[in-house]
Amino acid sequence: MAEIALTHAQPKVRSRQSLVAGIISLVIAGALFLLGWNTAGEISTFTLTSQRAGVTILAPDLVLPTNISLFVLAFLVALLGVYQIISGSMRISLFVGISAITLVFGFLIWATHGKSLNLTGMLVSSIVRATPIAFAALAGIYSERSGVVNIGIEGMMLMGAFTSVLIASVTHNLFFGVIAGILAGMLMGWLHAVLSIKYRVNQIISGTVIIILGLGITTYLTRLLFDIHPELNTPPSAIPSLQVWGLWRIPFIGPIVFNQSSLIYLLWLMLIFTQILFYKTRWGLRVRSVGEHPKAADTLGINVFRIRYISVLLSGAIAGVAGTYISLGVAGMFTEGISAGKGFLGLAAMIFGNWNPGGAYLGALIFGFFDSWQEKLTILQLGIPVELLGMAPYIATMVVLSGFVGRSRAPAADGVPYKKE
C-alpha cells in the first residue's frame, strides 16, 4: 500500500516542481523584458579578438542590438516556462540549466549596452579560475569514492602552495617546486588517512584538523621565513603557458583551449584518466565497491584499508597540485590563505557533478565563470557594489547546490569508518 501511495505521489510532486519552475522562468522573462525596455537603440559588443604571447589573434566582434536581443531571450524563456507548466515533460535540472544560462547571457548583454566586453578574455579567465576548483573536486572524488570524506582539501592545498613556492625559490627550478607541492599534499593526506582510517576519528573532525593545521603552519612559516627572507618567496617565474603548435592561433577557440598552462592540460588529461580508471578498470571497480559496501568488498578478498589509504593519498597529491597551481601557476608567489576557499568550492563542484569527473568539472567551470564575471563586470562600472559582485561565485554555489544536491547521491559508505570483524 505504501508503495502504491508513493507511486501516486510522485506525479504530483513532479507537477508541483514543474509549476514552480515554470513560474520562475516567467519571472526571469519579465526581468529580461524590463532590462530591454530601457536600452532602446543601444548596442552590445562582445570582443572576440585576443592578444596572447604578444600576438594579436583577430576575430570579428559579436555585435547585438541590446533591447531586441533581450526581448527575444525573454520571449524564449517565457515560451519555455509556459511549455513546462502545461506539459511538465522536461527534466527540472535541464530546465533550470537552460533558464539560468539564458538569464546570465541576458544580463551580460544588458551590462555591455553602449560598451564592449572581451568575451574571449573572460572565457580564458574562467578556465584559469576553474582549474584549482576542478583539481580540488578531483581530490574529493578520489577520497570519497573510497568512502572517506575529505573536507581537509583546503589545508592540503595551502601546504602544497607554500611548499612548492619555497622549494622552487630555493632550487630555482619550477619542476622541483611542483613535485614538492605534490608531496606536501600527500603528507597531509597521509595524516588524514591515519586519523580517519586507522584510528577511526570522525572524518569531518579529522578534515577540520587538516584545514586548521595547514592554515596555521603556512601562516607561521610565512611570517617566520618569507617576511624576513623575501627571496624565499620568489620562484624563478610562474608556470608558463604551453602553446599547441598550429592550433593556438585559431580565432576565438585557439586562445581559450590551446594556449594554457601545462597544469591545465594535466587537469584535462586527469579528468579523462579518472573517468576511465573508475568505470573501465578493475581497480576503479574495487574503489567504488569499497565506497559503497566495504563489508561485502572485504568478503570478496578486497583489502578495504589499503584501497582507502591509496585513495586518500592520491586525494592529497591532487590537492597539492591544486595549491601548486594557485601559487606557481597564477600568483607566482605565496600569500597567507592563498587558496581562498577554493577547496570548499571544489567539494561543491564534486557534489554538483554527482561524484563524477565530467560533472565536477562542469561545476568548477560554473564557479570559475562567476569568479571571472565579477571581475569583468566591476570594470564595466555598472553601479552595482563591488562587494555584491564579489559574492557572485558563492551565490552560484548556493544556487547550484540547492538545485542539484537533492539529485546527487554520495557513495553509501562515505564517511563511515570500517572495522574489520
- Report if residue 418 sits inside a domain: no
Range of the domain at 136: 124-407
> Cα(26)–Cα(21) distance, rounded to whole angstroms?
9
Do 129 and 195 have their domain in common?
A: yes
Instruction: Write down which residue in 114, 134, 159 finishes a domain.
Output: 114
Do 187 and 263 have their domain in common?
A: yes
Do 110 and 140 have their domain in common?
A: no
Structure confidence by residue, pLDDT tens digits, 264-311: 999 999 999 999 999 999 999 999 999 999 999 999 999 999 999 999
Q: Label the pairing between strands 62-65 and 55-57.
A: unpaired
Do 43 and 190 have their domain in common?
A: no
- Assigned C-alpha cell, 132: 584549482
- Assigned C-alpha cell, 370: 562567476
Structure confidence by residue, pLDDT tens digits, 363-388: 899 889 988 888 888 777 777 776 77
Do 94 and 159 have their domain in common?
A: no
What global pTM score does this model have? 0.91
Instruction: Write down which residue in 114, 142, 159 finishes a domain.
Output: 114
- Report if residue 243 sits inside a domain: yes
Burial class of 2 by CB neighbour count within 10 A (0 to 12, 13 to 18, 19+): exposed
Do 148 and 277 have their domain in common?
A: yes
pLDDT for 198 equals 93
pLDDT for 5 equals 43
Do 33 and 144 have their domain in common?
A: no
Domain count, the chain: 2
- Report if residue 414 sits inside a domain: no
φ, ψ of residue 63 in degrees (nearest 5): -110, 125
Of 135, 248, 149, 158, the closest CA to residue 200 belongs to 149
> Cα(368)–Cα(366) distance, rounded to whole angstroms?
5
pLDDT for 2 equals 40
pLDDT for 55 equals 82
pLDDT for 20 equals 74
Do 268 and 326 have their domain in common?
A: yes
Q: Which residues pair with 242 in a beta bridge?
A: 260
pLDDT for 138 equals 98
Do 240 and 315 have their domain in common?
A: yes
Q: What percent of the chain has pLDDT over 70?
A: 91
- Report if residue 194 sits inside a domain: yes
Cα end-to-end span (Å), the chain: 38
pLDDT < 50: residue spans in the chain: 1-10, 13
